[in-house]
């Protein structure tokens, strides 16, 4: 495969433009999709302030917060995944590698078992969400501590510590599930599958602020990430403050993914597959990879959520099932062609 630097950058810009145009269209279609179908023209009219009776209520009260939340969460997961793949120098890395997902699941399970799902939390957020966020961030702190010594933080150790903490959190979670009653077991299981049905204004606001900060912060590390692909020492020799960069990346990803898991549960494969596909299309330059992954992740989750509302309407499927069902076959087909794209793993 022959690729000119300038051509590659032009292709990246074209993809970015295409994604920027596609995202609002996907959102418009998603707003009209569900148990009650609303034509795009009517949706648009409602968004522009017109009154379409029942449609106005559905779009404004129910679907708009949900579609926006899906976009924000999808963007955060995909951009976090791209950053983790760069940091771990592994195109198959995933935000869950640093323990955040397992920690959040355990945090949520603890609070569900303790009866937290019946208690109301702060500002429209359930206690379970807060528990999940705390669990996710605590797990990452633990992983980071385990991998850090006076010589700095070893990315390889962090990977192994992440596996260990994930296993530990999984075991603790299983123990809780083993001793709890059937009702709570089902709540835990539903929570883990993930879903955007709990979207409301407070959640949307929280997601916008936190994930917005993450989405603005991560691209500032695009150049350091580019050099980190060469190796940590090589990045240091190129003048990059490597330890500070690692800490910042881990911190932002923990906050972003922790928030996402707390608000919508675990959503598989967006953080793994989206950056992977975008990299195959435009190459590993993080200056374009990070924003393009965010946009593509937003589009994927908006569409997957819309699908989850119609495949078995009026029953809603957990969105995590849809993303995995779309993601896994796609991913396997990519793995089978990996040499064609210059991938070595």
* Residue 316 tokens, joined: 């809603």
C-beta atoms surrounding 116 within 10 Å: 21
Q: Contact with another protein (CB under 8 A): which of 54, 182, 233, 315?
A: 233
Please state, in angstroms and rounded to a whole number, the distance separating the CA atoms of residues 183 and 160: 35
Q: Does 283 help bind another protein (rule: CB under 8 A)? A: yes
The DSSP code for 59 is: I
The residue (of 240 and 270) whose beta carbon lies closer to another protein is 240
Q: Does 107 help bind another protein (rule: CB under 8 A)? A: no
Please state, in angstroms and rounded to a whole number, the distance separating the CA atoms of residues 208 and 131: 20
The nearest distance, CB 11 to another protein, in angstroms, is 12
Q: Does 239 help bind another protein (rule: CB under 8 A)? A: yes
Q: Does 245 help bind another protein (rule: CB under 8 A)? A: no
* Stretch of 23-31, 175-183, 225-233, 290-298 contacting another protein, by CB under 8 A: 225-233
The nearest distance, CB 8 to another protein, in angstroms, is 7
Q: Does 336 help bind another protein (rule: CB under 8 A)? A: no
Residues sharing a CB contact under 8 Å with residue 39, sequence separation 6 or more, in sequence order:
32
* Stretch of 51-59, 180-188, 222-230, 324-332 contacting another protein, by CB under 8 A: 222-230
Q: Does 11 help bind another protein (rule: CB under 8 A)? A: no
Please state, in angstroms and rounded to a whole number, the distance separating the CA atoms of residues 136 and 115: 19
* Stretch of 207-215, 224-232, 265-273, 308-316 contacting another protein, by CB under 8 A: 224-232
Phi and psi for 120 in degrees, rounded to 5? -90, 145
Instruction: Using alpha carbons, list the distances in angstroms from residue 306 to 85, 177, 222.
Output: 28, 31, 32
Please state, in angstroms and rounded to a whole number, the distance separating the CA atoms of residues 143 and 122: 28
Q: Does 150 help bind another protein (rule: CB under 8 A)? A: no
Closest CA to 278 of 26, 74, 30, 6: 74
Contact residues for another protein (CB under 8 A)?
1-5, 8, 89, 91, 223, 226-227, 229-231, 233-234, 236-241, 279, 283-285, 341-345
């Amino acid at each position: 495969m022959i690729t000119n630097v300038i051509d590659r950058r032009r292709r990246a810009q074209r993809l970015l433009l295409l994604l920027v145009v596609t995202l609002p269209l996907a959102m418009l279609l998603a707003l009209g999709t569900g148990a009650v179908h609303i034509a795009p023209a009517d949706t648009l009219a409602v968004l522009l302030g017109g009154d379409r009776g029942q449609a106005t209520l559905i779009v404004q009260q129910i679907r708009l917060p949900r579609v926006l939340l899906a976009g924000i969460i999808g963007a955060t997961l995909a951009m976090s995944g791209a950053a983790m793949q760069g940091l771990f120098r592994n195109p198959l890395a995933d935000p869950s590698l640093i323990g955040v997902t397992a920690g959040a699941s355990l945090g949520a399970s603890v609070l569900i078992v303790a009866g937290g799902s019946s208690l109301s939390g702060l500002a429209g957020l359930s206690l379970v969400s807060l528990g999940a966020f705390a669990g996710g961030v605590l797990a990452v702190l633990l992983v980071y501590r385990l991998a850090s010594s006076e010589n700095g933080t070893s990315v390889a150790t962090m990977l192994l510590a992440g596996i260990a903490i994930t296993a530990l959190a999984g075991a603790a979670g299983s123990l809780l599930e083993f001793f709890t009653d059937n009702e709570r077991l089902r709540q835990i299981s539903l929570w883990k599958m993930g879903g955007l049905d709990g979207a409301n204004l407070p959640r949307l606001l929280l997601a916008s602020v936190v994930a917005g900060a993450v989405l603005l912060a991560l691209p500032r590390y695009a150049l350091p990430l580019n050099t980190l692909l060469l190796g940590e020492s090589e990045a240091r020799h190129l003048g990059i403050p490597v330890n500070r960069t690692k800490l910042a990346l881990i911190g932002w990803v923990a906050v972003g993914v922790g928030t996402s898991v707390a608000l919508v549960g675990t959503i598989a494969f967006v953080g793994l597959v989206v950056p992977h596909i975008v990299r195959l299309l435009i190459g590993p330059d993080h200056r374009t990879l990070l924003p393009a992954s965010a946009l593509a992740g937003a589009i994927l989750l908006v569409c997957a959520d819309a699908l989850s509302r119609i495949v078995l309407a009026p029953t809603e499927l957990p969105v995590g099932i849809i993303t995995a069902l779309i993601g896994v076959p796609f991913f396997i087909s990519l793995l089978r062609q990996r040499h064609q794209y210059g991938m070595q793993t």
